[in-house]
């Protein structure tokens, strides 16, 4: 069912309660990466332009329902004020009397940032009374924190029972692009799966077998598949508990006539450390660990990407944070950047990689939510989207 978007609401003179994802890295009170704050700016500026009174709420880190001065949103409010060139009022709580008084006095164009929602245990518990108190601060609710819509929390799902609610620009864009992968995509569709933990990727890989023409696997999860095929993987990271699941996935791919590609060569080393001596091998010898896909695999995978009409990527091909093992992930990012296909990067480490290689701008869409994008691609209903008002 299509949901209301920010453009469907009349915001003039309204108190607009917006859930944003300001969960940014902070070291010694300084923000080290403000990408998520910038991602919320289009919705924020739209509300201000339309004469709304803007109340922003977010979580930061994991304070476990207790007040933690290291996880205050004060540095975030300050950075937002600098980015907008506007005064931003930062509250000490999210539902106390002072907040209620301040919100009552707001004028059009005013901006208030509430304190970290997770200082209250009721937020993650999706407590109805807490959700109702938050809702009491606004006239309408905008969801613009895609990274949290897979969680049924008070500020993402519970609050929607009490207010007209809509998607902000960021969430609407995520739903549009990830939706294009799931609903009649242009073919061939190539799905690239990587990263370390196979168990996190089993449900999404199984769902993508119903959609993809080609599934490409890299990263540490590939060694579990290779071992399940009886190949030599040396001392590489293998999830022995899920060898059966890996075989099941490969059998399902064969049954569905989906091309399922695993690395044919590997960049290996005895351990993961700066300046370690590496070699390229087909079969990984004992005592060696695979940390990246090799040059032949890069060629094979890049050719598949070049012939695709839709590419969705989740998880790096190797330990790209280290120079010796970045080539595979970088090559995949470059192949996608050069492609004319619809290219969707599913958050998390893959998003960090395309940023690192300066290729984010060349992708059709880079998701801001790792867990949320995975669950979306698994075909799961996301509670923070399901709860919004239907069009």
Distance in angstroms (rounded) separating the CA atoms of residues 71 and 69: 5
User: How far is residue 336 from each of residues 248, 264, 278, measured CA to CA in Å?
Assistant: 29, 20, 26
Distance in angstroms (rounded) separating the CA atoms of residues 70 and 135: 27
Which residues are CB-contacts of 262 (< 8 A; sequence separation ≥ 6)?
217, 222, 225, 226, 229
Look at residue 1 in the predicted model and tell me its pLDDT: 65
Look at residue 350 in the predicted model and tell me its pLDDT: 92
DSSP state string for 117-180: GGGSHHHHTT-HHHHHHHHTT-SEEEEE-GGGTTS--TTTTGGGGTS-EEE-HHHHHHHHHHHH
What amino acid positions are annotated as catalytic residues? Answer: 36, 197, 348, 371
**pLDDT tens string 91-133:** 999 999 999 999 999 999 999 999 999 999 999 999 999 999 9
**pLDDT tens string 190-205:** 999 999 888 888 889 9
Q: Which long-range contacts (CB under 8 A, 24 or more apart) does 91-100 make?
A: 91/115, 93/119, 94/57, 94/119, 94/120, 94/134, 95/120, 95/130, 95/133, 95/134, 95/137, 99/137, 100/136, 100/137
Q: What one-character DSSP code corresponds to residue 93?
A: -
Look at residue 68 in the predicted model and tell me its pLDDT: 95
**pLDDT tens string 13-47:** 999 999 999 999 999 889 998 989 999 999 999 99
The pTM of the full predicted model, rounded to 2 decimals, is 0.90
| Positions of the chain with pLDDT lower than 50, given as ranges | none
Distance in angstroms (rounded) separating the CA atoms of residues 311 and 307: 10
Look at residue 196 in the predicted model and tell me its pLDDT: 86
**pLDDT tens string 169-190:** 999 999 999 999 999 899 999 9
Look at residue 363 in the predicted model and tell me its pLDDT: 97
Which spans in 35-87 are helix H?
Answer: 35-49, 74-84
Distance in angstroms (rounded) separating the CA atoms of residues 118 and 125: 10
Backbone angles phi, psi at 92, to 5 degrees: -90, -10
């Amino acid at each position: 069912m299509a949901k209301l978007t920010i453009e469907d609401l009349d915001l003039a003179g309204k108190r607009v309660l917006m859930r944003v994802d300001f969960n940014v890295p902070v070291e010694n009170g300084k923000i080290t990466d403000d990408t998520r704050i910038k991602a919320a700016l289009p919705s924020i500026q739209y509300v201000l332009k339309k004469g709304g009174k803007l109340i922003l709420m977010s979580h930061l880190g994991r304070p476990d329902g207790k007040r933690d001065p290291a996880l205050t949103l004060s540095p975030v409010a300050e950075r937002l004020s600098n980015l907008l060139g506007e005064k931003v009022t930062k509250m000490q709580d999210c539902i106390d009397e002072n907040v209620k008084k301040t919100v009552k006095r707001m004028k059009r164009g005013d901006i208030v940032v509430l304190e970290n929602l997770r200082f209250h245990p009721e937020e993650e518990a999706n407590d109805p009374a807490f959700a109702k108190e938050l809702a009491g601060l606004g006239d309408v609710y905008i969801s613009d924190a895609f990274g949290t819509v897979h969680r049924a929390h008070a500020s993402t799902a519970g609050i929607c029972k009490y207010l007209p609610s809509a998607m902000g620009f960021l969430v609407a864009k995520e739903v549009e692009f990830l939706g294009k992968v799931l609903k009649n995509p242009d073919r061939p569709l190539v799905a690239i799966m990587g990263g370390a933990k196979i168990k996190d990727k089993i449900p999404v890989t199984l769902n993508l077998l119903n959609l993809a023409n080609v599934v490409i696997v890299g990263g540490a999860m590939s060694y579990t598949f290779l071992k399940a095929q009886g190949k030599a993987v040396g001392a590489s990271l293998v999830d022995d508990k899920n060898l059966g699941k890996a075989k099941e996935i490969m059998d399902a791919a064969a049954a569905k006539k989906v091309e399922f590609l695993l690395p044919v060569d590997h960049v290996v080393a005895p351990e993961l450390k700066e300046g370690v001596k590496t070699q390229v091998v087909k079969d990984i010898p004992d005592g060696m660990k695979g940390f990246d896909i090799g040059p032949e695999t890069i060629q094979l995978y890049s050719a598949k990407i070049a012939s695709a009409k839709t590419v969705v990527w989740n998880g790096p091909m190797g330990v790209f944070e280290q120079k010796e093992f970045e080539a595979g992930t970088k090559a995949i990012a470059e192949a996608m950047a050069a492609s004319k296909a619809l290219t969707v990067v599913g958050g998390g480490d893959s998003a960090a990689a395309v940023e690192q290689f300066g290729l984010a701008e060349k992708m059709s869409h880079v998701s801001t939510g790792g867990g949320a994008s995975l669950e979306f691609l698994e075909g799961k209903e996301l509670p923070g989207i399901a709860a919004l008002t239907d069009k």
